[in-house]
Amino acid sequence: MEIGTAKPLADERRRVRHHLIDIIEPDEDCDASIWRSHATAAIDRIRASGAVPVVCGGTGLYIRALVEGLFNGPPADEALRARLAERERTAPGSLHKRLGDVDPEAFARIHPNDAVRTVRALEVLELTGKTISTSQREHSAAERPYDVLTLEVELPREDLYERINARSQAMVAAGLLDEMAGLRARGFARDLSAFAAIGYREAGQCLDGTLATPDLAGAVAQSTRNYAKRQLIWIRGQMDTQPAGDVAAALARVEEFLHAGSSSDAGTKPG
């Protein structure tokens, strides 16, 4: 899975060492908890060598899992999950709608097609009497191994959408559809959670005949724009962001933050 994940090119990886790439197969489990264990180990190794780790990309949940720890919640209740699954089977979309009624924060950050996280959010509510968003906020102060500066860079929406459109077109031109077909040819099941990711989901629809191939780039761009909206809502609601102006201003703030951390005697360094 190279094109759809925007995996760094070989030349980029020769110039700068990258970590946590090609560590699992598409059909292997990897949730935020598993990823966090790999990430913290890599960060520890990098810091021990005297370098500064750069954590790039990822979803808001993974960012928060890294900097605040992860709320695990009550164990799975299979009987409850079966009832919820049956409710969704008889009334498709009803679980996500229910989530919107009881936990608007979780509703905003969980995609309607993400059945696993939707069910988990409703499960936590029924088992604890508290929404998963409330539980996560209460947990967030429990584990903070890094000093964190969270900046929100201002980018006009039209510029953001232009970048998204260009990226989507480039992915298709680079062979996204062939990549998805090749993954299926290798025997990876079409219903893997990895293939629900933006880009792979739409490419799979093309292969299944439910999306016209000429419409692939536009569909990927639309899904990405929708995700960008949800991402911004989630980050503003879940993380203590500070406005940073444009990219140049943000870089200046980052340099100042890192310099202050490097000159501090504190045991915890900026992340």
Q: What is the pLDDT along the chain (271 residues), one digit of tens a residue?
A: 999 999 998 999 999 999 999 999 999 988 888 898 999 999 999 999 998 888 887 778 888 888 888 777 888 899 999 999 999 999 999 999 999 999 998 998 888 888 888 999 999 999 999 999 888 777 665 567 788 888 888 888 999 999 999 999 999 999 999 999 999 999 999 999 899 999 999 999 999 999 999 999 999 999 999 998 888 887 777 777 888 888 899 999 999 998 887 665 444 444 4
Question: What's the CA gap between 265 and 154, in Å, rounded?
Answer: 33
Both tokens assigned to 129: 């009497």
Residue ranges and CATH numbers for the domains of the chain are: 10-71+142-262 (3.40.50.300), 78-139 (1.10.20.140)
**pTM beyond 0.85:** no
What's the sign of the alpha-carbon dihedral 218, 3, 14, 251?
A: positive
| CB distance 121 to 110 below 8 Å | yes
Look up residue 254 and give its amino acid.
V
DSSP three-state, residue 72? coil
Both tokens assigned to 230: 């949800």
Residue with tokens 């808001």: 60
CB neighbours of residue 232 within 10 Å: 15
pLDDT value, residue 230: 84
DSSP three-state, residue 23? coil
pLDDT value, residue 65: 84
pLDDT value, residue 61: 80
Q: How far is CA 163 from CA 50, 87, 157, 159, in A?
A: 35, 39, 10, 6
Question: What's the CA gap between 124 and 128, in Å, rounded?
Answer: 6
